[in-house]
Amino acid sequence: MRVMGVDPGLTRCGISMVESGSGRRVTALAVDVVRTPPDMDLAQRLMGVADAAELWMDRHKPDAVAIERVFSQHNVRTAMATAQAGGVIALAAARRGIPVHFHTPSQVKAAVTGNGSADKAQVTAMVTKILGLAVAPKPADAADALALAICHCWRAPMIDRIAKAEALAAAQRRMYEERLAQQRKAVTR
């Protein structure tokens, strides 16, 4: 599976592409950080982020896009900018029919380091080790984008099993409700 990992942001937006192999093996294909100047118009900054993401999607053909979910931040303005950047990337993926999955920072940290409260240095160190990189990815946005892609590669099978189980449970519930309705009709006749 090929996964595009995105650490959304307006000033710096980390974008990565990884490919999963057998077991927990993952390979980094590309990583970059898209930058937009803070003094640029917001719409132009969002377009810059979207254009870069679309170029990556068209070039690398990911099977899924993993975006960090904006959970909560003390600075509302920063949270809004982060959510807007993630939103334009999710829209670009949806237009291409690419499934989008959102992961919280603690889910990513737990998947990559085993500790949902890991700091950025721990995440970067584990990303470097997991991918067998000679040099740690910099800046932190690049490492975070790789961590998101790794997280999704490792969580995707579980997410798929849960979705299938929920679909099966919903189908069984519908069949049960149909049988009940038929029994009620038979009793009232």
Just list the catalytic residues: 7, 68, 141
Q: What is the DSSP string of 100-168?
A: EEEE-HHHHHHHHHS-TT--HHHHHHHHHHHHT-SS--SSHHHHHHHHHHHHHHHHHHHHHHHHHHHHH
β 26-35/64-68 pair status: unpaired
Q: How many CB atoms lie within 10 A of CB 57?
A: 20
β 12-20/26-35 pair status: antiparallel
